[in-house]
A and B are shown apart, each in its own frame.
Chain A
Amino acid sequence: MEIKTNEYRVWVESGTIHFEGTMRLSSPAEYAPIQALMAQALADNASRLDLDMTALEFLNSSGINLFAKFTIDVRNRGGVGLGVKGSTRIPWQSKSLPNLKKLHPALDLQIV
């Protein structure tokens, strides 16, 4: 599974969804294909899923909302481990990714 544009790329590999580039889409509707890919990856990885954002340079608030909704969805399902990997090199990740941990305390958040 892969979504690729000039600005960003999202793909699934070995139980990890990788995000790369700059995501500044204008609405939840424009984020819907990415949301669908994430939902499919979750369905395919019933015990644990990881999100690798270490190459996601920029994300607007609509995109942050997408990840927040996904985190709540995983939390509400129960029984699925969720890992999120970020980078200290990219300032938005240290600022906003801890909110996902507040939404889902069992989330494995690593910002390195």
Chain B
Amino acid sequence: MNEAFGLPLRASLDSDRWSMRIQLPEMLPPAWAHCGLTAEMLGGLYSRVLARAGADGNEARHGIVYLCNELLENAVKFRHPQAGSIELAIACEDGVFEIHLCNHAEPVVAAGFRALLEQIVGRDPGELLLERIEANAMSEEESSSGLGILTMMSDYGVEFGWQLDGGPDGDLSPVAIHTYARLRLITNAGA
């Protein structure tokens, strides 16, 4: 089972095009607080690059921190209990911040995520965000209905691509979830 949604993945994690790669092996599982710390580090580093290229440094730092924190929080929250490694790669060129993150999830978790992506792709994210917020408000259950992804798409203009790599149907081995996201921080820069 290999499925793709949204943008194509820009490059493999071991490609030379990334300017930074971080591998968090299973033996060093990040705690929740590390999501924010890592996101702050990336925001601090790359916003300086973007500010030198003409971006608003405060906007760039905040956008990168928000994006990276949400992706890392999702990776930590939904990671496979026996396959907990998380890998990320970063590039920042022409006013665009890009991140490719890979984590593994249990097949049932991946199936829920796939169903969510099928609903998101092709819809207006702002409209869907308000729909989901209204639906969440009516529910007493904790929800994983993608509000973080929709907020990034609707409020920050983040563009996404996902690839889910797993075994055949019924296989219980971990599913690799690749998330590619790009955030344009200088609007008149090249693609």
Nearest CB in chain A to that of B138: its residue? A72
Give which listed residue, B63, B130, B148, contacts A61 with CB less than 8 A: B148
Instruction: Classify the interface of chain B: helix, strand, loop or mixed.
Output: helix
The answer to whether A72 touches B35 (Cβ under 8 A) is no
The answer to whether B36 touches A22 (Cβ under 8 A) is yes
Distance, CA A96 to CA B150, complexed state (A)? 11
Report the interface size for chain A: residues with CB under 8 A from the other chain: 25
Tally of A-B residue pairs with Cβ under 8 A?
65
What mask results when residues 55 to 89 of chain A are scored 1 for a CB within 8 Å of chain B, else 0? 00010111011001100110000000000000001
Q: Flag whether A95 is at the interface (Cβ < 8 A).
A: yes
The answer to whether A24 touches B147 (Cβ under 8 A) is no
The answer to whether B36 touches A96 (Cβ under 8 A) is no
Bin chain B's interface residue count. Answer: 20 to 34
Q: Flag whether B94 is at the interface (Cβ < 8 A).
A: no
Instruction: Classify the interface of chain A: helix, strand, loop or mixed.
Output: helix
What mask results when residues 20 to 34 of chain A are scored 1 for a CB within 8 Å of chain B, else 0? 001010111100000
Distance, CA A107 to CA B111, complexed state (A)? 38
- Tell me the A residues contacting B by CB distance below 8 Å: 22, 24, 26-29, 58, 60-62, 64-65, 68-69, 72-73, 89-92, 95-96, 99, 102-103
- Tell me the B residues contacting A by CB distance below 8 Å: 32, 35-36, 58-59, 62-63, 65-66, 69-70, 73, 77, 129-130, 133-134, 136-137, 142-143, 147-148, 151, 154-156
